[in-house]
Amino acid sequence: MVFRAKLLQPLFRHEIYRCQSGQKDLLYGSIEVDESYFGAKRQRGFHGKSKRGRGTLKQPVFGIFERDGRVYTEIVPDCKKKTLQAVILGKVSLEGVVYSDSRRGYSGLVDAGYSKHLRVNHGQNEFADGTGHINGIESFRSFTKRRPAKFNGVTKNFDLHLKECGWRWNRNSDELGHQLWRLLK
Does residue 104 lie within any of the structural domains?
yes
Q: Please classify residue 150 by burial: count the beta carbons closer than 10 Å to its beta carbon, then call 0-12 exposed, 13-18 middle and 19+ buried.
A: exposed
Residue 100 maps to a domain = yes
Per-residue pLDDT of 11-38, as tens digits, reads: 666 666 666 555 668 889 999 999 998 8
Residues 64/33, Cβ–Cβ less than 8 Å: yes
Q: What are phi and psi of 38, to 5 degrees?
A: -115, 140
Looking at residue 54, the DSSP 8-state letter turns out to be: G
| Three-state SS at 117 | strand
DSSP state of 156: S
CATH at residue 158: 3.30.420.10
Q: Classify residue 45: in a domain, yes or no.
A: no
User: Which residue pairs from 125-130 have beta carbons closer than 8 angstroms and sit at least 24 positions apart in sequence?
Assistant: none
pTM: 0.76
Q: CA of 117: how far to CAs of 17, 52, 70, 127, in Å?
A: 31, 27, 19, 16
CA 132, CA 122: separation in Å to the nearest integer? Answer: 12
Residue 127 lies in a domain: yes
Residues 91-134: tens digit of each pLDDT: 999 998 999 988 888 888 888 889 899 888 766 565 667 677 88
Number of domains comprising the chain:
1
Q: Is residue 65 part of a domain?
A: yes
Contact 60, 76 (CB under 8 A): yes
Residue 46 lies inside a defined structural domain of this protein: no
User: By residue range, what is the domain housing residue 104?
Assistant: 2-39+51-184
R_g over Cα of the chain: 18
The model's pLDDT over 41-66, given as tens digits with 9 standing for 90+, comes to 766 665 555 666 565 678 899 999 99
For residue 34, the one-letter residue type is D
